[in-house]
Structure 1
């Protein structure tokens, strides 16, 4: 294969860069021939040889040619190793997404295969991670999310290092995938009315988050990390936007949501109690970020004490059903909940439905508690 690399010859097990300096610049450059040992690794040799050729072409075509330290130039062309943790940091720094799922996936993989240069990971190690996650009792849907996160991180790393390498997480099979899926439950209208009443009449103000979740369909982290600056009670709207302590799940998650019914009532009650705070739920906001998991544990424990397997995330599924049954257009439902639309490229054109159309849709299914 050595003869295929321009200006490179093989001597024994080593490869040498060997190139004659053009006569017109040889005196100024100080050499008649550039000869340098590039080592034995053919993949590395190919990178160094190509880079050295491009750099010498640039130097020799300049108006004023100067001598060049070939050894230092080769060192500057050495492929830089990018370990998995550093790659993950770079990947996340360019994206406004929730870091936690990616960090969990990377942490699990490092437990199995260690933190190494991303180009050294093998498919056998990817399979080992899948087996490890399943052995711990993770659902196959969770395992698939971990695999997808790692695929994205490694793909980013390969691109940054200009590597033509197959991703070890590409098209990775997961035994029994989706066979363990359990359809998430939904609240009945009577359950919502009873729950809203209980929340709006209790002295536990953290439970006021539940009517807000139920009537906006928002994700728990979106509400837990909300600031009073994101709320306009006069206009009856909540702005779901990323900030330093809480990123959003996807780009489409950033949106303006009408506050209606019991959700608006709960927000007004919270405003009366703690409008001087920056965050609506300061209990779950730490200097390191929003601790939505803590909120989820607390609130899910309360909900399960009343309704068995239902959880905070069931409000989101419930609102989608309520809007669907009210005849709302799927694209409008996606916009209200910040769901990624499956309606094709055209669904992403324009600014979407205006606030009044969203308020009208929510008004068709709104639940108020008259005693509030």
Structure 2
């Protein structure tokens, strides 16, 4: 309990009770009997399987999802409210697990593709999305999965009590509703939802591996984004294997009370040869059946990465360098050489807001022996523009000198 409390930030917003983590830390540093009482209460709740009602109340802030063609449908909004045990999670689960990120999922996929190329194999993937994932998790199925995974009855009862009797307030702009019942699924945005959802998927992924129709197929999961990966000498063989695997995973999700959004499924082929073969896949489910199969696109966007057939990542670098350059140009209204922010403040703003954009996923394309001269040129052009803004120097100033004056390391050294 002391370790968990020490890792909590003092700057996080308090709940309806206005009690911050700093207040609890002060109590922990006080008389020992205070900590003893809190520890006894926590152990008692876990022992009898009781989740205090006060911690079942939350506020759900309605956030519009970006890049939606229309916000007239409720699905265009996302309500958000406010240690890994050995052999519990599946090894192919990336999202919602400590010390694993989207970049890990991207690295796993690129490694598989390049390793397959070294063996003369071509790689094909189908990406699918689970519809309304967090609200659709069945409580009884989840508790049965926890028992199957070996959790004690006290822990199962403790989580079971957490899932019922929950209530939330909906906040939309300045409007805040009354408390409403929210017992459906697990709350998206809560600290427990990634853990419970990952446990829910663990059994599905294990059953998928045991099915004889999925032999040779690799299933990668990042929360509700799944990816089926197949490798062989022929792209047509890959398409047949992907169709069988997609049917198996669809039936498994259906048995566990979940549904796939077929219209969001995507297929992509990785092939470094000069062949232009790019066969579509008949999923066997509408709208991608018969005369309207699922066709591959020129680029595939997965977890924010832009993949191309030969893993050059030119589109990925172009997209994020352009986005970073647009951000730098927008920041120019915050200050110039004569007014606004001081150079030190501009530098802090650039490092905090622009560099995370431009370096997202760089480990996928920047490594030893990688051909990335063109990519580095795009990033250097962006950083030169930022350095000119920070220092207020003339546009014709030498790039290296301006970067040094602004306190920015060259892009190639930064990536190393």
**Alignment TM-score, normalising by the size of structure 1:** 0.24
| Higher-helix-fraction structure | 1
**Alignment TM-score, normalising by the size of structure 2:** 0.22
| Higher-strand-fraction structure | 2
**Highest Rg: 1 or 2?**
1
